[in-house]
Structure 1
Amino acid sequence: MAAAMSALAVAAGGLVSAAVIGAGPVLADHCDPAQATASPSAQQRQQDQNGQQDEDQQQQPDQQTQAPEEQNTAQQQPDDQQTADQQTGDQQTGDDQQGQQQEQQDQTGQGGGAAVLDPAASPEPEETASTFSRRGRQTRTPTPSPSPSQSQTQDPDDQGTGSPSPSASPTATDEHDECLDLGPFVEDFVNIRQVQSVQQDARTGRNGSRGTFVSQCGTNRNGHNNPDNFIVAPGVSNGAHHLHDYVGNLSTDGFSTDESLAAAGTTCRQGDLSTYFWPVLRDRKVDVNTDDPDGNVGQVLRARSVTLQFRGNATSRVVAMPRFLRLITGDAKAATNGTANARAGWSCTGFQNRISPDKYTLCPRGSQVLRILDFPSCWDGQNTDSANHRTHVVFPGQGGACPQGTRAIPALRMTLAYTVPAGPSYAVDAFPEQKHNPVTDHADFANVMPDRLMQSVVSCINRGRRC
């Protein structure tokens, strides 16, 4: 009997340890950042601590035999335990009431609105044995992975509770965590309420241009995706090593030319043949694309909305972009290159004054994740491209004025909105060595607007209209 109780204690201890550290399932969702406590070094420290806890649990078999009962609320409990649970429930009810009062205060402070924007419970949601059991699997007995619809409709504030099946729970000895250092990590996420408010745009002066023009091109419902980039890697298939979403020009791939773009169709209105593209965002809780050699695993999340807005300059009027002008923003390799060219902007709907340049945002219930990508808008007046794809068009200075020798052109801002799975469990596609760092977010654009349409864009902006 003592031997059996000891064995049960070891199993229960392993289950708790796996639930906390996310010991390596084999499929894609063991790359779910919510399964990692932090970076690989932090995980190793957590494993060492859990190993010590397991030894202590083996020395106390009488206490550990109660672990399955504690994890399964459907089983009977001693009267004293039931009384304690009832007291805990009363306390939780009080906490819920306080949370509702806080939610009402938050809404009042924001001036109300249709969406309910209550804060996430924690920027780093607590992991449970249930969430690990649902996403992990043993080498011998796999468990079904969740469907994309399940993960995408989860409430960001609901972290999930429940009891795992002991037979479905892996242990550290069963598997090797292939994604231990794949990234992103829990420290790559931040609660949007912890992001400081910023003034995003320079104030427009008397001689500035206040108008805007929006090109409506859809959200890539036609599934135009490829891992190419004809701007930085022309003539190369899989030159980006990560998947791009495209809107606008229907022909864009690694072999696109000015002539092929001009002859193609478009998803944009008003005959805008321009091409707009960015790396996809993925739900890392879903076992899809598991064999990708670049580590871009998970279910692709299509943007719920895509806003392509051309804006003015704070100190001057704008001039027309030349046709076939090529622009890039951000640095796909900023995690290793440094942040000199990084331009990532992560936010949430309802919190657009809070933009994180280097962390994925965790948004409250009713709010969507935003990617805000601003492009350079000070053109050298001569070139449609340059050797590094940056020096021919640069960003305005801190006050919004373009540097001497350059002219202000319509400034493109992409705003992409997503419904993402609950918790720190999504990531942007990236080069493998970048470890899905949020600072690597970037986007590309090539102007293929007919000249007449570009003149309309310039006129709208300079006249202060919204088109």
Structure 2
Amino acid sequence: MKLHSRALSAFLVSVACAVTAAAGLGLTTLTAQASPDSGTSGASAHMSMDHSQVAPVAGGDDPDGDGYIPAVPQVTGVTPSWNNPPDRYFHEFQANCAVSRTAPDDPIVFAGRPGASHNHTFMGNTTTDAFSTTASLSGGGTACKAPGDLSGYWMPTLYNGSRPVLPTGPQVIYYKTGVTDYTSVRPFPKGLRFVVGSPTQTAAEFRAHKGWVEGWECGDSFKNVEFPANCPAGTQLNIRMQAPSCWDGKNLDTPDHKAHMAYPVVKPGTNDNVCPADHPVALPMIEFKMAFPVSGDMSQVRLSSGAGHTFHYDFFNAWDDRTLNALVEHCIKGGLQCNARGYDETHPAAGAVLGPDYRLP
């Protein structure tokens, strides 16, 4: 493993954080009962470290430890599409995925370093941990309705005081188009991973984030940067956040876990969204829509990463290629509003992509 001096220093810091975090949390098993981060734990002490400061560890999908994971094959010779196909109000499908576990792991930011992260709530793949790779996820199980979705999805764990508040049942993860030419969208390459937002972002940065939709919501309270002071009894705390959907075509990951992805830009002189020239490949736009069963006095509600404005999430693609391709072709490129089976109730003649068991026929 070759590490430059700056990378080596960051690596040593992260190792120290991992040891302190494990000791401070008293970790013995990585399950949904993992202890919350305390204000003095090692996990909280290092959670403000920017993702770009974390030195990659050699192994798994990144054998040389430089933080770059090249796509094989790379997608070259692509120019962003400026076409404007027939207008369709919807071009999406849902991945409905339930919580599988919680753990102070992050196989993207702290790959190979169990206990080094603030606590995360994992959805989708049931095997996701600090050592997860494309191969391990592809061989794992899933808490998604569609067995072909073996991807890992995770976000900081929400707490009410010391009690973790986990979303119940399958959560809605939309796969949409972020560009006007929805017919140009391609499936994710296997092994693509990225982080949306940051635990170190300020409240102003969170509000101005290109993935912002309506912030934290409950009852009639919307567009909150921080958690509302009170939510009507029986309501849920909700958040939606959109991911970048333009890819450089070269890397499945980069050292900051963001540079290989970009948000669409507006085509000059129009209202059309197009991919920028340096990230020309249009991919599905993921949108998290999370619902947390907590209401009433919200003064003790927090994220494992800090205040409400530190919300962020991670995505690691391990879809079965044929299943993902079929859903993208039928629902996104077909201009439909599909459920997790790839069926649009308003266009029944178009049929469904998946069978009653959510598998390809």
Shorter-chain TM band: 0.5 to 0.7
Question: CA 1:379 to 1:250, structure 2 compared with 1: closer, same or farther past 3 Å?
Answer: same
Q: Alpha-carbon deviation of 1:342?
A: 8.1
Partner of residue 217, structure 2: 348
Q: Retained in 1: the 8 A contact 2:216–2:226?
A: no
Aligned equivalent of 1:315, options 180, 185, 193:
180
Change in CA separation of 1:349 and 1:206 when aligned onto 2, cut-off 3 Å: farther
Question: Is residue 215–residue 239 contact of structure 2 (8 Å, CA) maintained in 1?
Answer: yes
Corresponding residue of 1:411: 285
CA distance in 2, matches of 1:403, 1:464: 23
2:201 aligns with: 334
Distance 1:351-1:449 versus aligned 2 partners, 3 A rule: farther
CA distance in 2, matches of 1:363, 1:212: 30
Matched residues in 2 for 1:349 and 1:429: separation? 16
Aligned to 2:158: 281
How far is 1:365 from its partner?
A: 4.3
Name the SS for the 2:130 alignment partner.
coil
Conserved 8 A contact 1:304-1:416: no
How many residues are treated as equivalent by the alignment?
244
- Contact 2:216–2:239 at 8 Å: present in 1 too? yes
Offset of 1:341 from its aligned partner?
A: 5.9
8 Å CA contact 1:428, 1:441 repeated in 2: no
Amino acid at match of 2:283: I
Give the drift of 1:239. 2.1
Q: TM-score, normalised by structure 2?
A: 0.61
Residues 314-367 of structure 1, C-alpha deviation per residue, up to 9 Å, x if partnerless? 411211110110021111111499657685653335659x323x2213433453
Contact 1:231 1:326 in 2 (8 A): yes
Whichever residue aligns with residue 325 of structure 1, its letter is L
Aligned-partner Cα distance in 2 for 1:377–1:205: 18
Structure 2: gaps of 5 or more residues: 1-38, 45-82, 343-361
- 1:205, CA displacement in angstroms? 6.1
Question: Gaps spanning 5+ residues in structure 1: where?
Answer: 1-176, 183-203, 285-297
Tell me if 1:392 matches 2:260.
Answer: yes
More strand by share: 2
Q: Is the 8 A contact 1:330 1:443 kept in 2?
A: yes
1:450 Cα deviation after fit: 1.0
Question: Do 2:217 and 2:237's aligned partners in 1 also have CA atoms closer than 8 Å?
Answer: yes
Map Cα deviations across residues 106-164 of structure 1 (whole Å, 9 max, x no partner): xxxxxxxxxxxxxxxxxxxxxxxxxxxxxxxxxxxxxxxxxxxxxxxxxxxxxxxxxxx
| Structure 2 residue 122 is the aligned partner of structure 1 residue 211 | no
Residues 277-312 of structure 1, C-alpha deviations (whole Å, 9 max, x = no match) = 11111112xxxxxxxxxxxxx100111351111011
The yes-or-no answer on 1:453 pairing with 2:295 is: no
Alignment of 1:189-268 (within 5 A): 206=85, 210-218=90-98, 220=99, 222=100, 224-240=101-117, 242-268=118-144
Change (3 A) 1:360 1:397: farther
Q: Does structure 1 conserve the Cα–Cα contact (< 8 Å) formed by 2:203 and 2:309?
A: no
The amino acid of 1:370's aligned partner reads: N
Q: 1:401 aligns with which of 245, 253, 274?
A: 274
Is 1:299 the counterpart of 2:163? The answer is: yes
Tell me, in whole angstroms, the C-alpha distance in 1 between the residues paired with 2:201 and 2:256: 15
Alignment of 1:76-87 (within 5 A): none
- Normalised by the length of structure 1, the TM-score is 0.48
**Contact residue 370 and residue 415 of structure 1 kept, 8 A:** yes
Contact 1:331–1:342 (CA<8 Å) still a contact in 2?
no
* Structure 1 CA distance for aligned equivalents of residues 202 and 115 of structure 2: 20
CA RMSD of aligned residues (A): 2.9
Which piece of structure 1 moves more, 227-236 or 360-369?
A: 360-369
Distance apart, 1:452 and its partner CA: 0.5
Share of identical aligned residues, percent?
28
> Helix, strand or coil for the counterpart of 1:414?
strand
Confirm or deny: 8 A CA contact 1:208 1:313 kept in the other structure: no
Pick the aligned partner of 1:462 from 300, 315, 333: 333
Deviation at 1:313, TM superposition (A): 2.8
Give yes or no for contact 2:219–2:232 (8 Å, CA) kept in 1. no
Per-residue Cα deviation, 1:206-255 (whole angstroms, up to 9, x for no partner): 4567321111222x2x5x11111110111112221x21111111111111
SS in 2 for 1:250: coil
What whole-Å deviation, never above 9, does each CA across 1:78-131 have from its counterpart, x for those lacking one?
xxxxxxxxxxxxxxxxxxxxxxxxxxxxxxxxxxxxxxxxxxxxxxxxxxxxxx
